[in-house]
Amino acid sequence: MLQTEQTLFEQMRITELEIESRKALFSFTGADVKALQSFKPIIEENIDKIVDDFYGLQTSVSEIALLIGDSDTLARLRTAQRRYVLDLFNGVYDLEYVNNRLRIGLVHKRIGVEPKLYLSAVHTLKELIYAVINCSVQDTHQGECIRVAIDKLVLFDVTLVFDTYIRSLVSEIENAKDKAEKYAQSMESKVKERTQQLEELSQTDPLTGLLNVRHLQETATRILRAAQRRAEPVSVIYLDVDDFKSFNDTQGHRSGDEVLRAVAKAIKEITRAEDHCFRYGGDEFCIIMPNCREEQARDNFITRFNQKIKLSLNNISLSFGIIDTGPYEYEEANSLIHKADQRMYSYKRASKQQQQTMAAANDLAPENSTADVHSISQSQSVDKAVE
Ligand X SMILES: Nc1nc2c(ncn2[C@@H]2O[C@H](COP(=O)(O)OP(=O)(O)OP(=O)(O)O)[C@@H](O)[C@H]2O)c(=O)[nH]1
Contacting positions for ligand X (CB under 6 A)? 207, 240-245, 248, 253, 256-257, 260, 282-283, 348
Based on CB atoms, which residue is closest to ligand X, 109 or 343? 343
User: What totals of helices (H) and strands (E) does the chain contain, helices first?
Assistant: 16, 5
Nearer to ligand X, 26 or 244 (CB): 244
| Least distance (Å) between residue 303 CB and ligand X | 21
Per the CB < 8 A criterion, the answer to whether 36 and 89 are in contact is: yes
* Nearest distance, CB of residue 218 and ligand X, angstroms: 23
State in angstroms the smallest separation of the CB of 313 from ligand X.
Answer: 13
- DSSP assignment of 175-200: HHHHHHHHHHHHHHHHHHHHHHHHHH
Q: Is 40 exposed, middle or buried (0-12, 13-18, 19+ CB in 10 A)?
A: middle
User: From the CB of 180, what's the least distance to ligand X, in Å?
Assistant: 47
Calpha distance 154→88 (Å, rounded): 8
DSSP assignment, residue 204? B
For ligand X, which is the closer residue by CB, 248 or 377? 248
Residue nearest to ligand X as judged by C-beta position: 256
Which residue, 69 or 282, has its beta carbon nearer to ligand X? 282
Smallest distance, ligand X to C-beta of residue 260, A? 6
69-81 in b/e form (b: 16+ CB < 10 A) is eeeeeeeeeeeeb
Between helix 95-111 and helix 16-25 the angle, nearest 10°, is 80
Q: Which is nearer to ligand X, 236 or 239 (CB)?
A: 239
Angle between helices 303-312 and 253-270 (to 10 degrees): 140
Residue 45 CA: distances (Å) to CA of 35, 85, 123, 217: 17, 12, 21, 97
Return d(Cα 259, Cα 58) in angstroms, integer. Answer: 84
Nearest residue (CB) to ligand X, 188 versus 372: 372
Report the alpha-carbon distance of residue 154 to residue 238 in Å, rounded. 91
Residue 333 Cβ vs ligand X, minimum distance, rounded to whole Å: 23
**Could you report how far apart the first and last alpha carbons of the chain are, in Å?**
77
CB-nearer residue toward ligand X: 41 or 252: 252
Q: How far is the CB of 354 from ligand X (least distance, A)?
A: 14
Beta-carbon-side half-sphere exposure of residue 157 (alpha carbons within 13 Å)? 22
CB of 304 to ligand X, least distance (A): 22
Kindly tell me which of 38 and 203 has the beta carbon lying closer to ligand X: 203
Asked whether 237 and 353 are in contact (CB, 8 A), the reply is no
